[in-house]
Structure 1
Amino acid sequence: MILNSNTSLQQGEKLKPVLTSELSYELIDYYGPTECAVFATFKKVKDINGRYVSSIGRPIANAQAYILGENNELLPVGAVGELHIGGNLLAQGYLNNEELTTSKFINSPFRENEKLYRTGDLARWKPDGDIEFLGRIDNQVKVRGFRVELGEIERCLARLEGIQEAAVITKDHGSNKYIVAFIIIKPGEKADAAWVRQQLKEELPGYMIPAQIINVDKIPLTANGKTDTHLLKEWADKEAKELISTEPPTNETERIIADIWAEELERPVINMTDNFFDIGGNSLLVAIVATALNSRLDTKIYMRDIYQFPVLRQLADELIIRAKEAREAIPKEDVEPYVALQQDVYLAPGTVFAGGFDPKQLEKPKTIFLTGVTGFVGIHLLQELLDTTSADIYCLVRAQDEFHAVEKIDRCYKQYHIDRKEEQKPRIIPVIGDLSLPLLGLSEEEFKKLAGVLDLIYHSGSSVNFIEPYSYMKAPNVEGLREIIKLAGAERTKCLALLSTISVYSWGHVFTGKKVMLESDDIEQNIMSVSKDIGYVRSKYVMEAIADLAAKEGLPLITYRLGYAMCHSETGASAPYQWWSGLVKNCVEFKSYPLLTELREGLITVDYMTQSMAHITKNKDAVGKKFNLIAKPETNLTLENFFGLLKKYYPFTLEGLPYKEWRKQWEDDRKNRLYPLTSLFKDNMHEGLSTVELYQNTYVWDCSNVMKFLEGSGIEEPIFDKKMLDLYLKYLGILK
Structure 2
Amino acid sequence: MKHPIIPENADHELSIQQSQFKNVISIFKEVSRSLPEKTAIISESKSLSYEELDIQSDQLAAYLLGIPLKKGASVAVCMSQSVERIVAFLAVLKIGSAYIPIDGQLPENRIKMIIEDSQTELVITEDLYLDKFEHMQVQLVNMSHGISEPAGNQISIIPDDIDMMQTAYIIYTSGSTGVPKGVEIHHEAFYAFVVSFTELLGYSSRDRTLQFSSAGFDVSIIDIWIPLFTGATVVLYPDNKIIGKPLLDFIVDHKIEVVPFIPPAVLSTLPTNLPIGKLHTISIAGEVPSEQTVKNWCNRVRLINIYGPTETTVGVIAHHFQDDTNPHIIGKPLEGTHIHILNQDLEYVNEGITGEIYIGGKQVAKGYINKPAETSEVFIEAPEWIQSDYGISYRLYKSGDRGFLRKDGNIEFVGRLDEQVKLRGYRIELKEIEHHIGQLAQVANVAVKVHRPEQGQPVLVAFLELYETDKEHITVEDIRARLKQSLPIYMLPEKIILYDKLPLTITGKIDKSKLQVPLQQTARKAKEKVDASDLMQEIKEIWMDLLNLDEINENDNFFELGGHSLMLGQLHARLPLNIQKRISLPELYQFPTVSLFVKEAETRLAQNQLSQQQKARLVEEQLIKDAELPFDFEIAVQPDPKILSDPSTIFLTGVTGFVGSHLLEELIPRNPNAVIYCLVRAENETLGLERIKSTFLKFKLIWKTEYEDKIRIVLGDLTQPKLGIDEKLYEYLLKNIEVIYHMGSDVSYVKPYEHIKKPNVDGMAHILHLAVHEKTKFLIISSSIGVYSWGRSFTGKTWMTEDDPIEQNLPAVCRDMGYIRSKWVMDSMASKARAKGLPLINFRLGFVVCHGETGATPLNQWWSSLMRSCIELKAFPLVMGLKDEVITVDYVSKSIAHISQNPEAIGLNFNLNPLPEHDLSLTDFCVRITDYCGLEMKSLDFETWFEQWKRNHETPVYALLYLFSDDVHEGKSLVEAYENTYYFKSSNTERFLEGSDIRPAIFNKPVIEAYLRYMKMI
Task: Answer whether TM exceeds 0.5 for this pair.
Answer: yes
Deviation at 1:200, TM superposition (A): 6.0
Secondary structure of the corresponding residue to residue 482 of structure 1: helix
The equivalences for 1:85-124 within 5 A come to: none
Which of 517, 521, 534 is the aligned partner of 2:817?
534
Q: 1:452 to 1:55 in 2, by over 3 A?
A: farther
> Aligned pair 1:52/2:325, yes or no?
yes
1:275 to 557, 561, 569: 557
| Distance in 2 of aligned mates of 1:715 and 1:202 | 30
Structure 1: distance between partners of 2:768 and 2:911: 21
Instruction: Give the alignment partner of residue 600 of structure 2, picking from 318, 322, 327.
Output: 318
Once residues 303 and 536 of structure 2 are traced to their aligned partners in structure 1, the CA distance between those partners, rounded to angstroms, is: 53
Q: 1:447 and 1:253, CA in 2 relative to 1: closer, same or farther beyond 3 A?
A: same
Amino acid corresponding to residue 305 of structure 1 in structure 2 = E
| Structure 1 pair 258–296 and aligned structure 2 pair: CA distance change class (3 A) | farther
C-alpha displacement of 1:53: 5.6
> Which residue of the other structure, out of 520, 523, 534, is the alignment partner of 2:803?
520
Whether the aligned pair in 2 keeps the contact of 1:179 and 1:211 (CA below 8 Å) is no
SS in 2 for 1:479: helix
> Which residue, 304, 307, 332 being the options, matches 2:589?
307
Provide the rounded CA distance (Å) in 2 between the counterparts of 1:616 and 1:541. 22
SS of residue matched to 1:451: helix
Q: Following the alignment from structure 2 to structure 1, what is the Cα–Cα distance between the partners of residues 1009 and 289?
A: 47
Aligned to 2:535: 253
Establish whether residue 683 from structure 1 lines up as the match of residue 966 from structure 2.
yes
Structure 2 CA distance, aligned partners of 1:319 and 1:367?
Answer: 51
How big is each residue's C-alpha offset from its partner over 1:87-126, in whole Å with a ceiling of 9 and x where there is no partner? xxxxxxxxxxxxxxxxxxxxxxxxxxxxxxxxxxxxxxxx
User: RMSD of the alignment, in Å?
Assistant: 4.0
Letter in 2 for 1:307: Y
Q: Deviations over 1:68-88 (max 9, x none)?
A: xxxxxxxxxxxxxxxxxxxxx
In structure 1, the residue matched to 2:72 is none
Q: For residues 283 and 217 of structure 1, what CA distance do their matches in structure 2 show? A: 24
**Corresponding position of 1:375:** 657
The 3-state SS of whatever aligns with 2:1000 is coil
Q: Specify whether residues 695 and 427 from structure 1 end up closer, same or farther in structure 2 by C-alpha distance, changes over 3 A only.
A: same
Report the equivalent of 1:445: 728
Q: Deviations over 1:318-369 (max 9, x none)?
A: 2223334688999997775212110112223375646341112211111111
Shift of 1:725: 1.4
CA distance in 2, matches of 1:533, 1:54: 48
Q: Which amino acid is 2:585 matched to? A: M
Find the aligned partners of 1:22 and 1:546 in 2 and give their Cα distance: 45
Q: Please identify, of 207-216 and 392-401, the stretch whose mean Cα deviation from structure 2 is larger.
A: 207-216
Q: Which runs of 5+ in 1 are unaligned?
A: 1-12, 25-44, 57-132, 140-147, 182-195, 220-231, 238-249
1:694 aligns with 2:977: yes
Structure 1 residue identity aligned to 2:505: I
Distance 1:719 1:16 in 2: 46
Alignment partner of 1:169 is 2:460: no
Partner of 2:694: 411
1:633 match: 916
Residues 233 and 613 of structure 1, relative CA distance in 2, 3 Å threshold: closer
Partner of 1:497: 780
Equivalent of 1:151 in 435, 439, 445: 435
Q: Give, in whole Å, the separation in 2 of the partners of 1:167 and 1:424.
A: 35
CA-to-aligned-CA distance 1:652-673 (integer Å, 9 cap, x gap): 2221110111111111101211
Question: Does 1:214 find its partner at 2:505?
Answer: yes
Unaligned runs of 5+ in 2: 1-286, 305-318, 330-413, 424-431, 475-496, 517-531
Query: 1:609 and 1:217, CA in 2 relative to 1: closer, same or farther beyond 3 A?
Result: closer
Distance 1:331 1:173 in 2: 50
Residue equivalent to 2:283: none
Q: Is 1:338 paired with 2:338?
A: no
Change (3 A) 1:294 1:718: same
Work out the CA distance in 2 between the residues paired with 1:377 and 1:519: 21
Once residues 305 and 23 of structure 1 are traced to their aligned partners in structure 2, the CA distance between those partners, rounded to angstroms, is 42
- The answer to whether the 8 A contact 2:515-2:561 is kept is no
- Alpha-carbon distance in 1 for matches of 2:901, 2:635: 21
Provide the C-alpha distance between the structure 1 equivalents of 2:303 and 2:538, rounded to a whole number of angstroms. 54
Matches of 1:398 and 1:671, distance apart in 2 = 31
Q: Deviations over 1:353-402 (max 9, x none)?
A: 46341112211111111111111111101101112211221111111111
Correspondence 1:366-405 to 2 at 5 A:
366-390=648-672, 391-405=674-688
Q: Compute the displacement of 1:468 (Å).
A: 1.2
Q: CA deviation at 1:169?
A: 2.8
SS of 1:597's equivalent?
coil
SS of equivalent to 2:848? strand
Q: Residues of 2 paired with 1:713 and 1:314: CA distance?
A: 56
AA aligned to 2:544 is: A
With CA pairs under 8 Å and 6+ residues apart, which has the higher RCO, 1 or 2? 1
Counterpart of 2:767 in structure 1 is 484
Structure 2 residue identity aligned to 1:624: G
**Aligned-pair CA distance for 1:267:** 4.6
253-262 or 668-677: which moved more?
253-262
Alignment of 1:123-142 (within 5 A): none
1:171 shift after superposition: 4.6
| Partner secondary structure for residue 505 of structure 2 | strand
Determine helix, strand or coil for the equivalent of 2:911. Answer: strand
User: Does 2:1013 correspond to 1:730?
Assistant: yes
Return the offset for 1:704.
0.8
Q: Which has the larger radius of gyration?
A: 2
Q: Decide whether the 8 Å contact of 2:834 with 2:840 is kept in 1.
A: yes
Q: 1:667 aligns with which of 950, 957, 973?
A: 950
Q: TM-score, normalised by structure 1?
A: 0.70
Percentage of matched positions with identical amino acids: 37
How many Å separate the matches in 1 of 2:303 and 2:743?
47
Which position in structure 1 is the counterpart of 2:264? Answer: none
Distance in 2 between residues matched to 1:639 and 1:285, nearest whole Å: 26
Q: Which amino acid aligns with 2:750?
A: I
Residue 303 of structure 2 contacts residue 320 of structure 2 at CA under 8 Å; is this kept in 1? no
Q: Find the residue that maps to 1:644 and give its secondary structure.
A: helix
Choose the corresponding residue for 2:860, options 577, 591, 607.
577
DSSP 3-state at the match of 1:281: coil
Q: Aligned residue pairs: how many?
A: 574
- 2:844 and 2:591 map into 1 onto residues whose CA distance is 32
3-state SS of paired residue (2:917): coil
Match of 1:86 in 2: none
The 1:479/1:609 distance shift into structure 2, 3 A limit, reads: same
Residue identity in the other structure for 2:952: D
Cα distance in 2 between the residues matched to 1:725 and 1:257: 44
- Name the structure 2 match of 1:84: none
Measure, in 2, the Cα distance between the counterparts of 1:726 and 1:207: 29
The answer for the alignment partner of 2:831 in structure 1 is: 548
- 1:493-551 deviation line (CA, Å, top 9, x unaligned): 11111100000000111001111001000000111111111000000000010111111
Q: Which stretch of the first structure deviates more once superposed, 646-655 or 199-208?
A: 199-208
TM-score by length of 2: 0.52
Q: For 1:286 and 1:334, how far apart are their aligned partners in 2?
A: 24
**Quick check: 1:258–1:312 contact (8 Å CA) kept in 2?**
yes
1:357 corresponds in structure 2 to 639
**Cα offsets for 1:568-619 (capped at 9, x unmatched):** 1111101123111111112122221111111111111100011011010011
Structure-2 change in CA distance of 1:597 and 1:156 (3 Å):
closer
CA contact (8 A) 1:604 1:631 kept: yes
> Contact 1:256 / 1:296 at 8 angstroms: preserved in 2?
no
